């Protein structure tokens, strides 16, 4: 007798090993899947620079599409996981009475509820990292007094040195890849399965 399985989870792990990594991946739907009922994404990226205001707390963006239809049906900006269940804006608000760890202040992860019929065999996904620690070395100063200084680049803001904005620097070289921390993105897909007659 076949055993009926009402739902099935599928897990896809995407290792991110270099800054700005772009990953295209494909997922084969499980056999007997009726429709995709839930989507969740987690990431293990840890902030390198703490929680200072103005810095991004997004590690990258993920999208899912049905290739035959050219249809993107899900996109998500992945946040740092800080065990606090809050994003940067919330953490910058001084909340005296709310505990600051997930076990006390948070609830639990939930799936994004959806209903995507499984009509094709393959699902296509794309993840692009934008967590790159934008460290590098720049020349600061004028008139023969230039010195090289390690800075953090912020897109559109020039550089930040010890928390103070500097004028947009002349960039020397690329972001320092050795400061980049390996992390992984985990995609969870929850399927509603077809009834199987015993």
Binding site for another protein (CB under 8 A): 3, 5-7, 9-11, 13, 40, 42, 44, 46, 81, 83, 85, 101-109, 181, 186, 188, 192
In whole angstroms, the minimum distance from the beta carbon of 85 to another protein comes to: 8
Nearer to another protein, 102 or 166 (CB): 102
Among 12, 14, 3, 5, smallest CA distance to 184 is for 14
CA–CA distances in Å: residue 155 to residues 47, 49, 80, 90, 134:
17, 15, 18, 22, 9
In whole angstroms, the minimum distance from the beta carbon of 175 to another protein comes to: 20
**Alpha carbons 20 and 110: distance in angstroms, whole number:** 28
Among 156, 163, 157, 159, smallest CA distance to 171 is for 159
Nearer to another protein, 55 or 84 (CB): 84
**Alpha carbons 71 and 48: distance in angstroms, whole number:** 35
Among 54, 60, 58, 6, smallest CA distance to 30 is for 6
Residue listed under structure tokens 């494909």: 26
In whole angstroms, the minimum distance from the beta carbon of 74 to another protein comes to: 17
In whole angstroms, the minimum distance from the beta carbon of 12 to another protein comes to: 9
In whole angstroms, the minimum distance from the beta carbon of 111 to another protein comes to: 9
Nearer to another protein, 49 or 83 (CB): 83
* Chain centroid to CA 174: 22
Nearer to another protein, 151 or 189 (CB): 189
Nearer to another protein, 131 or 159 (CB): 131
Nearer to another protein, 8 or 137 (CB): 8
N-term to C-term CA, the chain:
5
**Alpha carbons 39 and 115: distance in angstroms, whole number:** 10
In whole angstroms, the minimum distance from the beta carbon of 195 to another protein comes to: 11
């Amino acid at each position: 007798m076949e055993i009926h399985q009402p739902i099935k989870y599928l897990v896809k792990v995407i290792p991110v090993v270099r800054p700005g990594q772009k990953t295209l991946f494909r997922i084969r739907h499980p056999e007997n899947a009726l429709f995709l009922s839930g989507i969740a994404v987690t990431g293990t990226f840890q902030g390198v620079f703490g929680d200072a205001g103005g810095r991004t707390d997004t590690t990258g963006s993920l999208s899912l599409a049905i290739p035959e239809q050219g249809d993107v049906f899900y996109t998500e900006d992945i946040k740092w996981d800080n065990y606090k269940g809050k994003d940067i804006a919330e953490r910058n608000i001084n909340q005296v009475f709310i505990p600051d760890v997930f076990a006390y202040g948070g609830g639990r992860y939930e799936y994004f509820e959806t209903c995507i019929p499984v009509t094709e065999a393959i699902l296509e996904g794309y993840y692009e990292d934008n967590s790159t620690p934008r460290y590098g070395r720049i020349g600061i100063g004028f008139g023969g007094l230039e010195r090289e200084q390690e800075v953090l680049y912020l897109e559109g803001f020039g550089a930040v040195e010890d928390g103070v904005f500097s004028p947009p620097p002349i960039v020397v070289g690329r972001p320092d890849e050795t400061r980049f921390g390996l992390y992984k993105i985990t995609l969870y897909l929850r399927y509603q399965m077809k009834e199987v007659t015993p």
